[in-house]
């Protein structure tokens, strides 16, 4: 095992590079940063470590330059996180789409890279950027082992009844059209964290996890395994989100095409101009809508009610397929901080045994903990997500042998 057990986490987007360093197995974050506006005239880098914050602006023409700036910030003599790049023992990458090939995190080799390339057609906006991050990290840290942690992997346990669409079979067999699901790393992390908080075992616990942010998804977890999730072939399906429409009648698309909208128009509308933003015409930010709702703004109230209603429907549906539910989790920006929205969602779920405690809901605010009544048959938890932590745990387990030498780490790993 390498003397250093620092793990660098990389989340590479088309014009950004997010990173964080964890010291394992203690799960201590040494700091995090983000390089933004890659390829634009002026780039930005922000980093915060225990020794302070860094901020500077300069041209960052490509991801190689972004990696160089990340390296410079990591090694900053006053506000950096490490003294030398040799102190990085492994690198964990967030990768959006692993298709049907990967049901768990993996050590990156040529076959993994080929599989990520193969799935570019399924995630054309994300997988290319993720690949860029992998290749640039290999150049920056030659010989350092790296892992891929897929957003889709956790949901590969879903049965065919959950992932198949009612389309001609050839659509699945020839074009790979099926439900893949996303936010898997987040759902896996918060479900595992809930097991620790409630002193339960995944093998006899069923969970409904609500990851609610600008993107939102609900997942049914049975005995530690994802058995259904609201996002589908793409992240557009499911509950209404900040700017995404969620579930709609597909015929609406053909109806609008006949009325002069182009495919490009509809892609933008459904992904960027719908959801809370589109329905309210005000904002995709929950705080803005709640402020307007308090003033009696009708469209803000309707947008908030519609958002809560659709999430409530998924909770009801997943309660049916799970037969019994033990824990309901709220996570993500809205799930963690949306005190009023949590109350809206839980309203009328008492018949399922989900009874929120209004005082605990306010008192806990954004903190980890239980917000249900003591007599609630189903415990309601707020669990802040930490996808970077989960990536660090997976990377440590895969590369540094934590499963055998640090059994306490396994508490955080669902099947």
Cβ atoms within 10 Å of 182's Cβ, excluding its own: 28
- For the chain, what is the radius of gyration of the CA atoms? 22
Q: Please give the Cα distance from 308 to 290 (Å, whole number).
A: 13
SS3 363: helix
Give first-to-last CA distance, the chain, whole Å: 25
Q: Mapped to the 3 state alphabet, what secondary structure does 220-274 carry?
A: EEECCEEEEECCCCCCCCCCCCCCCCCCCCCHHHHHHHCCCCCHHHHHHHHHHCC
DSSP 124: T
User: Two tokens at 344?
Assistant: 């809206």
Catalytic residue numbers? Answer: 151
As a residue count, the chain comes to 415
> Angle at which helices 286-294 and 298-322 pack, to 10 degrees?
120
Closest Cα to residue 327, out of 271, 376, 396, 259? 376
Q: Please give the Cα distance from 248 to 239 (Å, whole number).
A: 10
> Angle at which helices 127-140 and 63-74 pack, to 10 degrees?
50
Q: Please give the Cα distance from 329 to 141 (Å, whole number).
A: 38
């Amino acid at each position: 095992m390498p003397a250093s057990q620092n793990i660098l986490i990389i989340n590479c987007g088309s014009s950004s590079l997010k990173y964080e360093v964890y010291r394992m197995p203690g799960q201590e974050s040494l700091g995090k940063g983000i390089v933004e506006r890659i390829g634009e005239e002026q780039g930005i880098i922000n980093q915060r470590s225990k020794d302070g914050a860094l901020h500077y602006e300069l041209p960052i023409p490509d991801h190689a330059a972004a990696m160089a700036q990340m390296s410079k910030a990591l090694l900053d003599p006053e506000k950096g996180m490490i003294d030398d790049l040799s102190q990085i023992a492994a690198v964990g990458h967030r990768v959006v789409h692993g298709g049907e090939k990967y049901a768990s995190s993996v050590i990156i080799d040529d076959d993994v890279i080929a599989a990520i390339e193969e799935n570019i057609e399924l995630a054309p906006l994300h997988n290319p950027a993720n690949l860029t991050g992998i290749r640039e990290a290999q150049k920056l840290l030659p010989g350092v082992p790296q892992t891929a942690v897929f957003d889709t992997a956790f949901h590969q346990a879903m049965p065919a009844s959950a992932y198949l669409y009612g389309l001609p079979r050839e659509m699945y067999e020839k074009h790979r059209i099926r439900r893949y699901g996303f936010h898997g790393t987040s759902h896996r992390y918060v479900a595992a964290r809930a097991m620790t908080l409630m002193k339960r075992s995944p093998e006899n616990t069923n969970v409904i996890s609500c990851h609610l942010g600008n993107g939102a998804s609900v997942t049914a977890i049975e005995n530690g395994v994802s058995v259904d999730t609201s996002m589908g072939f793409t992240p557009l399906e499911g509950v209404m989100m900040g700017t995404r429409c969620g579930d709609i009648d597909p015929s609406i698309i053909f109806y609008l095409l006949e009325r002069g909208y182009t495919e490009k128009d509809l892609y933008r509308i459904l992904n960027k101009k719908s959801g809370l933003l589109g329905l309210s015409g005000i904002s995709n930010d929950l705080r803005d809508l709640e402020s307007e709702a308090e003033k009696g703004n009708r469209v803000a109230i309707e947008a908030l009610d519609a958002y809560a209603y659709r999430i409530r429907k998924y909770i009801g549906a997943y309660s049916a397929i799970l037969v019994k539910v033990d824990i309901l989790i709220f996570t993500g920006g809205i799930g963690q901080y949306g005190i009023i929205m949590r109350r809206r969602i839980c309203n009328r779920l008492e018949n399922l045994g989900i009874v929120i405690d209004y005082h605990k809901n306010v008192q806990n605010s954004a903190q980890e903990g239980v917000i249900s009544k003591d007599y609630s048959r189903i415990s309601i938890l707020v669990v802040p997500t930490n996808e970077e932590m989960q990536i660090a745990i997976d990377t440590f387990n895969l590369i540094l042998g934590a499963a055998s030498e640090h059994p306490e780490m396994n508490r955080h790993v669902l099947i």
